[in-house]
Chain A
Amino acid sequence: MKKIGGMLLFCFMLFMVPNMSHASAGLQIYLNGVSLSPSAGGQIIKDYTMIPIRVVVEELGFQVDWDKKTRTVTIHNDKTSMTLVVDQKWATVDGKKVSLDMPPTLKSDTTLVPLRFVGEQMGLVVNWENATKSVYLFTSDYSSEVTKPDVPTTPGKPDQGGSTGEGSNNGSDGTNNGSNGSNGGNSGNGSVTQDLAEIQTVTFEDNRLVVGVSKSDVKPTQTKLSNPDRIVVDIPNAKFSDSFFNSQNFAANGQAEIQLTDHPLVSKIRYSLFSSNPSTVRIVIDLNQNQAYQFTTTKDPNTIIVDLNGGSTDPGNGSNPGTIPPANGKYVVVIDAGHGAKDPGAISLNKRNEKDFNLAQALKVAELFQNDPDVQIVLTRSDDTFLELKERVTVAKQANANLFISIHANSINKATISGTETYYSRDDESKAFAQVMHSNLVQGTKLPDRGVRKQSLHVTRETTMPACLLEVGYLTNQTDEAALYQDDFQNRVAQSIKNGIKQYLGLQP
């Protein structure tokens, strides 16, 4: 019984995710473009990325056996089998002895194995991006059409073997483990990747593919292919932004797509990181027929546009659909005063209700926009009434709103905590929107800046336009509370919210 207990405890320690994985801070691991969970607990030891064997099983999907007595890890799939021993600088791969630069190691009861060695031996392509401290893993079946390098449109140097499409070239690199040195040392690669443009959005509306890019100096190429008809756009020296990556459903083959049902011209749009050397994003528009199109790029906002409407259309001043003004020419911004009526929200130190602050603040914002030529405010409530969370979302949808802002005041059972926080839930434009709003808001509140945070909150998650929730200050902190119910504080905050909205929409303040 005791023995079983001990074994259980051991297994527990072996597979337990250390919840405080400080060591992994900043290290990102992607498999076919999908970020592994932050609890993966990968860490860099002496320039080598090491991962717990639990991650090999759970995230990479290989079989792992652990022999406690001999401290031997056996990793296998249906093709390859390897054994590694803790602290031993050699491994056996399919019966052959291979030297290791970095042996497996035991760290706080977790066995860590070198990611590159294990990954490459098991048939993965492993790429390290020093600038972002990211490891990109690709499986060998990551070679669908988007990723197959069959269209010689990528300018610049020929692929130096870092292609993401070739996953099976791993036979030779058993001793080639020195390439592990690029885990931090390959400055040449690092300096190139630092300049990568980030793909932030890919949208298809009104027969127009609009790709939002972080920089203006991208040099995309486009090719039209037939049988089946498709348009291939390659963006060299580019990668997907982290937030875009995470917001998209990248499949196991590294590809994400926009499915268009019943669209007359297009069946779907697919995109992936087609090559990592040079880092190239490829976007393919699958056409239902041979279709004329226009290919343009714009600066400020930086976009790449494939317009299937044939004739030229002014792309307007908004790159994402959320910020294209409606027909009457005014942007619609929903201001949502949190809580109301039977739901008082939090209670302040001096027993004042959060709902009253929220309403007063929302009304002040609305007042500032009266007679505004560009922006129309829609309030979810303009008096002390109660709305369910989903009713607030409905208001935004029905108003066809361009932006959604929920106003709240914060509360925690620790009186020393003070300051302003801004929340978003979706990794789309909401993040950028929250950042713009927050930087303005903290100027208005003049309270400690507690940052932009991501949290799954109903109103910011379920709305479809860029959305954020402002926690203006803490009702449970003396300084914050005193400020929150003051007229001039609220006026200042209202002005800062207005400034944020105008800045995000690119309007004159």
Chain B
Amino acid sequence: MRKFTLLAGTFVLLLALATGCGQKTETNTNTQTGDTTEVQQPTEQTLKIQSYYTDDQILNLVPKEQEIKFVEEKDKYLTALKTLQKTDDPNQIALWEESEFLSAELKDGGALTVDVKVPAEAHLGASAEDLAVQALLKTAFQFDEVKSVDILVDGQSVDTMMGHVELEHPYTRN
């Protein structure tokens, strides 16, 4: 059995080498992606965005300019949303401080799907929950290409995040 594994291993290795050599003459097959990323140097982009927090009375959303850095355009949304987790302004409260943004993917046609993790410890009261949702939406919709936002909790399309405000699936730009 062990012998067989070893043999099989060698075979795979040989096969890989063989195809590797072959590709030098046969231009571009899909295993070549390693090469292309080497050619195009990853350039980090910097963008100024508006992020939204609440005031210390939990009454309104407060915008604040934040700078985000990302390499690929598709990472822009998650990077932007993560700014909602922290503010250095003592008069502001970061509504997403204790929650987590798992992913934010923009699909063709401008549908942004945001997956969040909201542990019980991060559950907010009624108004803060509403403001948290609004903060996420305003941050996402500042990008013109985002036409709709669907908020999932742990990948699930749920009625409510924290039990006061219902989620729309999806929210559309109004």
Are B97 and A413 in contact, with the CB atoms below 8 A?
yes
The answer to the question of A469 belonging to the interface, with a C-beta cut-off of 8 Å to chain B, is yes
The answer to the question of B56 belonging to the interface, with a C-beta cut-off of 8 Å to chain A, is yes
Are A344 and B123 in contact, with the CB atoms below 8 A?
yes
The answer to the question of A410 belonging to the interface, with a C-beta cut-off of 8 Å to chain B, is yes
Identify A413's interface contact among B94, B120, B163, B164, CB under 8 A: B94
Q: Bound complex: CA of A474 vs CA of B56, how far in Å? A: 14
- Name which of A84-92, A327-335, A450-458 contacts chain B: A450-458
Are B56 and A344 in contact, with the CB atoms below 8 A?
no
Least CB distance, A343 to chain B, in whole angstroms: 5
The answer to the question of A414 belonging to the interface, with a C-beta cut-off of 8 Å to chain B, is yes
Tell me which residues across on chain A come within 8 A of B130, comparing CB atoms: 455-457
Are B126 and A343 in contact, with the CB atoms below 8 A?
no
The answer to the question of A435 belonging to the interface, with a C-beta cut-off of 8 Å to chain B, is no
0 or 1 for each of A340-365: is its CB under 8 Å from B? (1 = yes): 00011111000000100000000000
Are A412 and B164 in contact, with the CB atoms below 8 A?
no
Q: Bin the interface of chain B by size.
A: 20 to 34
Chain B interface mostly helix, strand, loop or mixed? loop
Q: Bound complex: CA of A211 vs CA of B94, how far in Å? A: 45
Q: Bound complex: CA of A471 vs CA of B165, how far in Å? A: 14
Known interface pairs A345-B123, A346-B125; A412-B93 also in contact (CB < 8 Å): yes
**Smallest Cβ-Cβ distance to A459: which chain B residue:** B164
Q: Bin the interface of chain A by size.
A: 20 to 34
Known interface pairs A339-B163, A389-B163; A414-B56 also in contact (CB < 8 Å): yes
Are B159 and A388 in contact, with the CB atoms below 8 A?
yes
Q: Bound complex: CA of A343 vs CA of B122, how far in Å? A: 12
The answer to the question of B58 belonging to the interface, with a C-beta cut-off of 8 Å to chain A, is yes
The answer to the question of A338 belonging to the interface, with a C-beta cut-off of 8 Å to chain B, is yes
Tell me which residues across on chain B come within 8 A of A421, comparing CB atoms: 125, 127
Least CB distance, B54 to chain A, in whole angstroms: 9
The answer to the question of A117 belonging to the interface, with a C-beta cut-off of 8 Å to chain B, is no
Tell me which residues across on chain A come within 8 A of B126, comparing CB atoms: 408, 410, 423, 455, 457, 469, 471
Are A457 and B159 in contact, with the CB atoms below 8 A?
no
The answer to the question of B59 belonging to the interface, with a C-beta cut-off of 8 Å to chain A, is yes
Enumerate 25 A-B pairs (CB-CB under 8 Å) in ascending A order: A19-B62, A346-B123, A346-B162, A347-B123, A354-B123, A389-B159, A390-B166, A408-B125, A409-B125, A410-B125, A410-B126, A411-B123, A412-B58, A412-B93, A412-B128, A413-B122, A413-B124, A414-B93, A417-B56, A421-B127, A455-B126, A455-B127, A459-B164, A471-B126, A474-B125
For the complex of A and B, 7 pairs with smallest distance between CB atoms: A410-B125, A346-B123, A458-B166, A339-B163, A411-B125, A455-B127, A413-B97
**Residues on B facing A (Cβ under 8 Å):** 56-59, 61-63, 93-95, 97-98, 120-128, 130, 159-160, 162-166
